[in-house]
Chain A
Amino acid sequence: MNDQAGEAALSLQGLVKRFGATRALDGASLVVRRGSLHGLIGQNGAGKSTIVKILNGLLQPDSGSIAIDGRQVVDASPRLIERLGVHIIHQEPMLVPGFTVAEALFLGDEPRLGAGRSPVVSWRTMRRCAEEAIASRFGLALRGDTPLDQLGAAERQIVQITRSLLKAPRVLVFDEPTASLVRSEANRLFAIIRRLREEGAAVLYVSHYLEEVRDLCDTVTVLRNGRDVATLDPARTSVAGMAALMVDRDLGAMFPTRSSLPGAPLLEARGLGRSGAFADLSFTLRAGEILGLTGLVGSGAKELVAALFGLAPADRGTLLLHGRAVMPASPSEAVGLGIGLVPEDRRRNGVALDASVAENATLPGLVRFVRRFLLDRGREQEAVRGLIARLAIKTPGPDAPVGALSGGNQQKVSLAKWLGTGATLFLLDEPTVAVDVAAKVEIYRLLADLAAGGAGILLLSSDLAELRGLADRILVMHRGRLVAELRAADATADEILTAASGGAAGSAPDGIAA
């Protein structure tokens, strides 16, 4: 344990929270001490976000108590909690989408004209302060008057974090802050967090990146099925040990051994291009193969995937699917050709939060349940139960709304949609973001099985370990062009990063997590 850890800044005792039949929390306790960095890990659905939401009063616990600086807090509310110096960065961004960066940053205490006493907001000061605040902490030049919806996920996350930092927090809670951040931004965040600790703040840090937790935290609490099952010293525990505690068993190898002999060409691109996005792409994906794809922001890799799925069709070159020339002009056409996409932005494009698990899971392949014009709901339910079991999706049942599932389980639903549709080409865009280690292992095994069954998989990922562990070959894009094709087995992280940044050796680029 950290010897400089002081008295308890935050103490949660015996928290219980039920949602219908689900016990999200089942007596979880947690103490975060002043001047300490406390990690919280656990599988998808273990109850991590529920703890965070209870802490700031978004959810009411069925029983249990919260104490901040030794004082019991009853009737927690976001306002009260902030007044007590506790600031929370939620897993899902909670910013007003129509606002500008400056408005979002200062919402609630805008700088005023006349030495802060007049009721008139000083927009100019506000913009300037916002730009300075972000630049000084993250080295990011964001204009204060940019609307939030024009920002990428990472930039939005940075605005959210800066907003909390501005309030001189005494207790800071992060729920998966780095899921959308690139390496250099994450490193800056870590530096900021360490400095806050030196200044005596208490930090609770929730993450699925166990290496990150190990390097950063002084103490780690493992949550399993809504209960704290272990509190450990990360300096004396291996990452595999942490993972084993999370899932209560040994996970074995992270990546499945694949003995695939790639078959006939499944997808062939010849001189594929779309103006302003990518040009002159030629590659082949064989049946049974997992083809990795990576590149920095603006490399055109995302655009390539969008083109293959008919979202923004290519305007030059040819595409052969099973040897036939195709060029899907819409997603429904692509799906008809046997192409499936797991999009990166799960909540916007992947799953309908207000629809049930069953409705989501069968949406792309609905026709297979149609008997004489009507949906055979018995068979549909059966198929969905099969999918829930196969992917170990943690849900109260097929009829539960996907919005009630934990983040990682929503991601599994987004993947489950394409199983059983007869798709032969799977386009996966960052398929394991926010997914716990155990689920990652399951997903990797599933992908390997799909490939072994003759499917072709295009895996767009910025997680180099994932690319090297799972793919057969890795395509690297830079500025709209294919700049390298590497055998995954002997590609080094350096090689990939160098290629992705356009061959400028030596400098590790942003955008890819090493």
Chain B
Amino acid sequence: MSVAAPGPAALRGIDLARAVRVMLPAVMLVIVACFAAASPTFRSGGNLVHVLINDVTLPALASLGMTLVVSTGGIDLSVGTAADLAALAAALTVTQGGDALLALSAGLAAALCVGVVNAILVAGFGIAPFLATLGILFIGESVQQLATNGGAPIYVVSNFPPLLDRLAHGAMLSIPIPLILLAMLSALTRLLLARTAYGRRAHATGIAPAVARHSGVPVRRVLAITYILSASLCGVAGLLLLATVKSYVPLSGNAFLLDAIGAVFLGTTISRDARPNVPGTLLGVLLFGVLRNGLLLVGWNFYWQQVAVGLLVLVVLGVSFGVRRRGRE
């Protein structure tokens, strides 16, 4: 019996599977290199910080929440709603003369409400996450329009509490505070998902809910915690948004939703077993931010930027799914 060398098919399968996992970082490098070559503005340090703060931090916070939710096999369409309601509650508090702490508390409380309602719908009543959070998305939109006379922005230019202002524009050791906040919350979420019993149970719930249940995982509690955490992270994003622009514009948080979903699924491509993970999600958000900024600097308008983002998502996910499926056959 001759012992054959590993077949070419097997070899290719292994190499491809590895290659797919570095695809996202590689695409990132290529894009950064291209823009850096094409645009001097792009490679300036100021621009990088600008991208990080304005285009990445806020969607990244919402994406962290989405990472948790997708891990449990669900989806949260109300990430923007939680952010918006947090901003709305804080803005109203400030216009009523409330101080920064009160505004922050009101904002977080509003976000928490969204999380608790989602938790009740998904974990309590067992409504499919897509539908439950879609309902909250609709209701949240109406609430915002009712509270603002049909969608008028609330400007809080005068008497803007200094503490809130510092939250968005301050720095510690010359690192902008929003970045510090993002780094801390990312690290925490990463730890939670990858290193705690909760994280393991969340993944088990997402991969095989019936097995999780038969193993004594308190599936409903895991789900409840997940939706509340997601909304809370989005609340932080909404408060940062308010502090950055010193005004509340209804429905502006909805911009986070699609980026968050896209980033989480792009992020799964760097994981060995195609699971949502925090580093991957952050890479995804960063990629979106860099791509949009670079295209803007080379003169593409918003609509073409969206086309580029869409193509990127399709190509990366398409290649990844294709390779992984072949590997399994």
Query: A350 near B195 (CB under 8 angstroms)?
Result: no
B residues within 8 A CB of A374? 191, 195-196
Per the bound structure, the CA–CA distance linking A312 and B258 in Å amounts to 40
Known: A343-B214, A355-B207, A366-B200. A60 touches B7 (CB 8 A): yes
The yes or no answer to B19 lying at the interface (CB within 8 A) is no
B residues within 8 A CB of A124? none
Q: Give chain B's interface secondary structure class.
A: helix
Task: Spell out B's residues near A (CB within 8 Å).
Answer: 1-4, 6-7, 9-10, 14, 191, 195-197, 200-201, 203-204, 207-208, 210-219, 221, 273, 329
A-B contact pairs, 16 of them (CB 8 A): A14-B1, A16-B3, A309-B214, A311-B214, A332-B219, A343-B214, A351-B211, A352-B212, A354-B208, A360-B211, A363-B200, A363-B211, A364-B215, A373-B196, A374-B195, A375-B197
Q: Give 3 closest A-B pairs by Cβ, nearest first.
A: A335-B216, A352-B208, A63-B4
B residues within 8 A CB of A309? 214
A residues within 8 A CB of B273? 354-356, 401
Per the bound structure, the CA–CA distance linking A16 and B10 in Å amounts to 12
| Residue of A with least CB distance to B218 | A332
A residues within 8 A CB of B214? 309, 311, 331, 341, 343, 349-350
| Residue of B with least CB distance to A362 | B200
A residues within 8 A CB of B4? 16, 62-63
B7, B197, B329: the one within 8 Å of A370 (CB): B197
B residues within 8 A CB of A417? 215
User: Measured between C-beta atoms, what is the minimum distance from B222 to chain A in Å?
Assistant: 10
Q: Taking each of B208, B213, B329, which has the highest tally of chain A beta carbons within 10 Å of its own beta carbon? A: B208
Known: A18-B10, A332-B217, A355-B204. A363 touches B2 (CB 8 A): no
B196, B211, B215: the one within 8 Å of A375 (CB): B196
B6, B200, B204, B221: the one within 8 Å of A18 (CB): B6
Per the bound structure, the CA–CA distance linking A143 and B144 in Å amounts to 54
Query: A364 near B204 (CB under 8 angstroms)?
Result: no
Q: Taking each of A63, A332, A351, A373, which has the highest tally of chain B beta carbons within 10 Å of its own beta carbon? A: A332
| Residue of B with least CB distance to A375 | B195
| Residue of B with least CB distance to A343 | B214
Known: A62-B4, A375-B195. A363 touches B212 (CB 8 A): yes
Query: A349 near B196 (CB under 8 angstroms)?
Result: no
Chain A residues 383-426 with CB under 8 Å of chain B are: 401, 417
| Residue of A with least CB distance to B272 | A399
User: Measured between C-beta atoms, what is the minimum distance from A15 to chain B in Å?
Assistant: 10
Chain A residues 353-377 with CB under 8 Å of chain B are: 353-356, 359-360, 363-364, 366-367, 369-370, 373-375, 377
User: Measured between C-beta atoms, what is the minimum distance from A189 to chain B in Å?
Assistant: 29
A residues within 8 A CB of B216? 331-332, 334-336, 363-364
B2, B191, B203: the one within 8 Å of A355 (CB): B203
Per the bound structure, the CA–CA distance linking A383 and B24 in Å amounts to 35
Per-residue CB contact flags for chain A residues 30-58 toward chain B (1 = under 8 Å, else 0) read 00000000000000000000000000001
Per the bound structure, the CA–CA distance linking A375 and B212 in Å amounts to 18
A residues within 8 A CB of B191? 374
Beyond A341-B214, A350-B211, A374-B196, 17 extra complex contacts between A and B, CB < 8 Å: A14-B1, A16-B3, A16-B4, A62-B6, A309-B214, A331-B215, A332-B217, A350-B214, A352-B211, A354-B207, A355-B204, A356-B273, A363-B216, A370-B197, A374-B191, A375-B196, A375-B200
Query: B3 near A60 (CB under 8 angstroms)?
Result: no
| Residue of B with least CB distance to A370 | B197
A residues within 8 A CB of B217? 332, 363-364
Query: A349 near B211 (CB under 8 angstroms)?
Result: yes
Chain A residues 100-125 with CB under 8 Å of chain B are: none
Query: A352 near B204 (CB under 8 angstroms)?
Result: yes
Per the bound structure, the CA–CA distance linking A410 and B210 in Å amounts to 16
Known: A343-B214, A363-B217. A62 touches B204 (CB 8 A): no
The yes or no answer to A348 lying at the interface (CB within 8 A) is yes
B residues within 8 A CB of A27? 1, 3
A residues within 8 A CB of B2? 14, 63
A60, A353, A373: the one within 8 Å of B9 (CB): A60
Per the bound structure, the CA–CA distance linking A401 and B219 in Å amounts to 22
Per the bound structure, the CA–CA distance linking A20 and B272 in Å amounts to 15
Per the bound structure, the CA–CA distance linking A309 and B213 in Å amounts to 11
A341, A348, A359: the one within 8 Å of B200 (CB): A359
| Residue of A with least CB distance to B211 | A352
Per the bound structure, the CA–CA distance linking A216 and B10 in Å amounts to 38
Per-residue CB contact flags for chain A residues 200-241 toward chain B (1 = under 8 Å, else 0) read 000000000000000000000000000000000000000000
